[in-house]
Amino acid sequence: MLLSPKYRFLFVHIAKTGGTSVRAALEGLRWRDPWYYPMFLCSRFSHLSGHRLATKLPRHAKIVAAKELLPKDYFDSLFKFAFVRNPWDLQVSSFHHIRRERPQYLGGHDNFADFLRWKLNPERPYQYHLDTSITLQTEYLIDLSGQVVVDFIGRYEQLQDDFATICTRIGIQTPRLPHARQATDRQRDYRGYYSDDTAELVAQYFARDIQMLGYRFEG
């Protein structure tokens, strides 16, 4: 999550949706923000005291954390945005990311279909790097009553265009959007990774995301 008091925005970073590129492009704004330095100090002191303040929220925090910690008027005044991704494509991206950077979390399942079944098995012990990528994307967008409280939902599938829209909204020139953590070892079309049963497994597990965000397997 990235909060900018000067530019009045809150970026909710959902894993594997292009958020690392968005964060990298916007990160430089913090050096122009006079609030950054006192926020940094408050974050350090709150960490030491054990009394957590919303000056620095975790990288993949959900929007509800900011809503509950920030003053209501201030939260409401922020331009809040996030990016989402087709759930079938996201799981392929997650598989390659884990296989490339954290192969110890594959659980001995080097085949995508086997890994997916194991990953979505409710009997599997919790592991952060696996479970972050199967948390429903809509969980990051809603408050405690289930209402969507972000102002803009960008799409990974049109990342550059939606990022440009966001930059216009917050009043900055659109910076270069780097291709951070882009996989080079995967097929371009995610559909080639799936059989009918594994595609249905994702459809059932991510049913709310698919319905609320309007995604489908065919693109």
Q: What confidence category does residue 21 fall into, taking pLDDT thresholds of 50, 70 and 90?
A: very high
Architecture of domain 2-213: 3-Layer(aba) Sandwich (3.40)
119-134 mean pLDDT? 91
Q: What confidence category does residue 129 fall into, taking pLDDT thresholds of 50, 70 and 90?
A: confident
SS3 3: strand
Three-state helix/strand/coil letters over 24-77: HHHHHHHHHCCCHHHHHHHHHHHHHHCCCCCCCCCCCCCHHHHHHHCCHHHHHH
Compute the Cα dihedral for 97, 89, 112, 203 and give only its sign: positive
178-199 mean pLDDT? 82
164-174 mean pLDDT? 95
Judge whether residue 42 has pLDDT over 80.
no
Judge whether residue 5 has pLDDT over 80.
yes
Q: Say which residue, 161 or 37, is predicted with more confidence.
A: 161
- Asked if 69 and 55 count as a contact pair (C-beta separation under 8 A), the reply is no
Phi-psi region of 146 (alpha: psi -120 to 50; beta: other; left: phi over 0): left
Q: What percent of the chain lies above the pLDDT cut of 90?
A: 68
Q: What is the average pLDDT score of the chain?
A: 89
Per-residue pLDDT at 43? 62
Tell me: the pLDDT tens digits for 62-115?
999 999 989 999 999 999 999 999 999 999 999 999 999 999 989 889 899 999
Per-residue pLDDT at 35? 61
Q: What confidence category does residue 38 fall into, taking pLDDT thresholds of 50, 70 and 90?
A: low
Q: Find all residues with CB under 8 Å of 56, minimum gap 6, and list them.
A: 3, 39, 40, 43
